[in-house]
Structure 1
Amino acid sequence: MAISSSIQAQFFLSLKSSIPSYASLVDEVAETLNVSMDSAYRRIRGEKLLDFDELRVLCKRFNVSLDKFFSMESDSIIFQGKTNTYQEESMVEWMEDVLSQLNLVNSFSNKHVYFLVKDMPPFHHYYHPALAGFKFFFWMKSILLFENLKNAKFSISDNHFERFREVTQKTIKVYNRVPTSEIWNEEGLNTTLRQIEVYHEMGLIKNPEDTITLYRCVMEVIDHLEKMADSGRKSILGQAPTEDCAEYKMYLNEIVLGDNTFMAELGDSKITYLNHSVMYFIGSMDKKFNDSMFKNLDNLMKRSTLISGTGEKERRQFFNKLRKKVESKMHVMEV
């Protein structure tokens, strides 16, 4: 049994949008199906229809679903993603998956990322080793529920950042090359600040001085974000933008609370990632859904204040409010 040529054409179009721009679709199909280049071309052009076994192999290889091709007019939206396996290696797998998604986006010449911020994006935590180490510890202990951390307490000296240094640095490097628009409001820091505060109150931070240090790290990240917003370019903490640093746009929306929606433009296609289970995402390349999501984000940006590269007064006011949030936490510690 085979599918129609029109559905097959849409299927291969979807495959093409799921591979890096430098990769050859015909090479990938020929290798996956173990057929000649000519035979692969014939399948892509619809001259030879795929059978179900070939569909199964291609779907598995390219991690795509056929559901949307057999229900084009339905209201169903197909998402793909991973869930928490509650295994010791799940943290590394999560970070490598984030890196691979960024590498996919970066492989396209026409690319852009949009982030509707509820919590400060994970990439910004990576700028500071101590802050990143705390986030890794929190995720592993309280979200991924690592058994070996059940009775553990956080300490900066334990250097939880080190085991993830390589993948973290690669992630920052790629992220800084992808043009990005982020929609923020004053609530964007609340989750990280609350995590630090709760761990301190529960006695899960060994040394109270480490709590103060973490708040200072957040202040340094705020300073860095303000510098990026001022220049309109991404950069590494403590460094000026380099030639390969991408555009950075920051919008302030004082009405809408974000939900960590992450959308990426990949050439002529788009993919939307929705947050679930605190730190995981599921993604969809459904065109109708993505067009609607992009329209929503575009409308939000039009109704927000651009505070990167312009809007100096609003930018200063916004970042001063973020600093006051952190200062209030530090003041309680020092009393």
Structure 2
Amino acid sequence: MSYKFKNISIVSSFVCLWLASFLTANLELIFGFLLILSFGMLHGANDIILFDKLSKSKGKLPYLLMLSVYISVVLLVLFVFYWAPLFALTIFVSGSAYHFGEQHWEHESLKSTDLITYTFYFIYGLFVIALLLILNTSQVIAIVESIIKDQFPVVAIDYLFYTVSISFVILTTYLAIIDVDFRRRIWQELLYLLVFAVIFKVSSLIWGFAIYFIFWHSLPSLYDQIKFMYNGFDNYKMLAYFKKALPYWLISILGLIGIYFMFKDMTIFNGLFFSFLAAVTLPHSFLISRMFKQVKKK
């Protein structure tokens, strides 16, 4: 994630916090979902096209085959959420953690082994997620219980946060010792984490997640995807990306609107919404990771 994007993200985050001071709880929830459904959903709407781009090195796969594979994976994740929700939720959080960490740190060259680098991506992303969870515990518990259809112990979130925090401190200290460039950057990165903590503490769960998800993850990811798919970034390439993504994005939005009208209880809808997000996030995370690896090879 370039420093230009990080500066934009900081300004946008605090503007959103300022706006939140004028919003009621319901409006904050609505605007949070609108943000997630706009750029958040859009940044994963072109996964089929990205799959096509990545597969060209091994021979182009037929479009219907690619679409079938992608939909099958999404349905499989939803099936696991239905039959083993706690297991599926654990996989979702783990996959999202690595995905968030990779997106944030991929453009920073860490002078370490691949194992340490990938572990750091995972621990960093998991620390951000754990920070969000522990600062919004009551809302998180309600959503998790709506997904697993059972009680969920509050202490589990505490254990997760403290365990990940210790792991993050140990790994960060190690990288600061062996990597001079990392040591120079770490104070700025810790400042960003402090910004996240303020956002998650002051905001509701959905609004805080939306701010991080859009401005710190989705927009930088959109930039990287457009550069990869069109060999550069400008207004025309951005418009081409949006045109290709539009049909998939509209289908996702219509699906979620249908779910909302079927289950108007907000707690149930939140659970189903995050289950849907998980179903599309896991294959998306795999594709983005493949994209970064292919960029490095070039």
- TM-score, scaled to structure 2: 0.29
Between structure 1 and structure 2, the one with the greater Rg is 1
Relative contact order (C-alpha < 8 Å, sep 6+): which is higher? 2
Higher strand share: 1
- TM-score, scaled to structure 1: 0.26
Higher helix share: 2
